[in-house]
Amino acid sequence: MGFGERLEQRVQELGSPLVVGLDPHASRLPEPIAARLDDPRAALGAWGCGVVDAVQGVAVALKPQVAFFETWGAAGVGALADICAHARTRGQLVILDAKRGDIGSTAEAYARATLDDDGPMRADAVTLSPYLGPESLAPFVKRARGEKGLFVLVRTSNPGAGEWQADIAVRVADWVRQTNRELGGDPGPVGAVVGATLPGAPWRDRMPGAWFLAPGIGAQGAGPEDVQGHKRPDGGGLLAIAARGILFGDVAREGTDWQDAVSKRAAALAARFARP
């Protein structure tokens, strides 16, 4: 089954498009994890695997943010591999948020490092930055002919994003549509990153069938009403990312352990975004 269909199946099963980000901010990790940070691989691994377990049955996929793991060097990257392996054993999808983008043998190396079975992460999909052109995406498209997927940065909503994206985002969007058509998937395995706090309808018009990965939910402000335009006419096609709003909170006030708190926050947010 292609990645687009696997996502479709997951969203149907769970009834909600929630994707949980894994962003290990050092200063916000739960106290029992922070206390173990003298062994960062073990501590970060325990945290990430704990989140994977806590959102089982609620999250469509996990989205580890590679940058945070990389601040711990080899230990962090090792923990990320451990978390990806654990997610696989739980049948959870992993979208590696890496925003990689390079060419030739380097692009091929990134594809192997993130997706391949003989690589360290073996994720289901990866986020990519398209500045270097279609060639930079080709090794990932090749893997999307099998079971893997990719999400290409199209249009984001951060301050100043429009300054350089404005003119090319539409062309990248056209490439997404065209590539999905060539791959024959419906929905296809090539998704688009489209910010949650900007109008989604123009982008949905350009990429009618593509999966949209929408950052900016929860702690960053966007609610279900903001992403109506991101959806397909049938209400599908949207993956709503939340990270900090689920991962971190005032556990003492919540009166429970950190994993249970993550579980409850995820369930509450998933319910808000549930398909009617």
Contact 84, 122 (CB under 8 A): yes
Identify the residue among 57, 134, 184, 221 touching a copy of itself (CB under 8 A). Answer: 134
Binding of a copy of itself at residue 179 (CB under 8 A)? no
Catalytic residue among 63, 99, 142, 264: 99
Reply yes or no on whether 99 is catalytic. yes
Q: Report which of 65, 38, 102 is spatially closest to residue 213, judged by C-alpha positions.
A: 65
Rounded to the nearest whole angstrom, what is the least distance from the CB of residue 169 to a copy of itself in the complex?
9
8 Å CB contact between 137 and 126: no
Closest alpha carbon to 183 in 133, 149, 134: 149
The reply to whether 105 sits near a copy of itself by the rule CB under 8 A is yes
Please, which residues bridge with residue 254 across strands? none
When the beta carbons of 9 and 71 are compared against a copy of itself, the nearer one is 71
Binding range to a copy of itself, per CB under 8 A, among 113-121, 183-191, 226-234, 257-265: 113-121
Task: Compute the distance between CA of residue 73 and CA of residue 41 in angstroms, rounded to an integer.
Answer: 10
Question: CA-CA distance, 6 to 93, in Å (whole number)?
Answer: 9
Minimum distance from residue 29 beta carbon to a copy of itself (Å)? 14
| Residue 108: partners with Cβ closer than 8 Å, 6 or more residues away | 139
Amino acid at 252: A
Q: Is 135 one of the binding residues for a copy of itself (CB under 8 A)?
A: yes
Q: Which is nearer to a copy of itself, 88 or 99 (CB)?
A: 99
CA-CA-CA-CA torsion sign (169, 217, 143, 188): negative
Smallest separation (angstroms) from a copy of itself to the CB of 160: 4
Q: Which of 50, 101, 187, 249 binds a copy of itself (CB under 8 A)?
A: 101
**Residue selected from 31, 89, 117, 160 as contacting a copy of itself according to rule CB under 8 A:** 160
Question: CA 123, CA 93: separation in Å to the nearest integer?
Answer: 8
Q: Which residues are catalytic?
A: 99
Positions in the binding site for a copy of itself (CB under 8 A): 23, 25, 41, 65, 67-68, 70-75, 77-78, 81, 99-107, 109-110, 112-113, 119-121, 129-136, 153, 156, 158-165, 167-168, 171-172
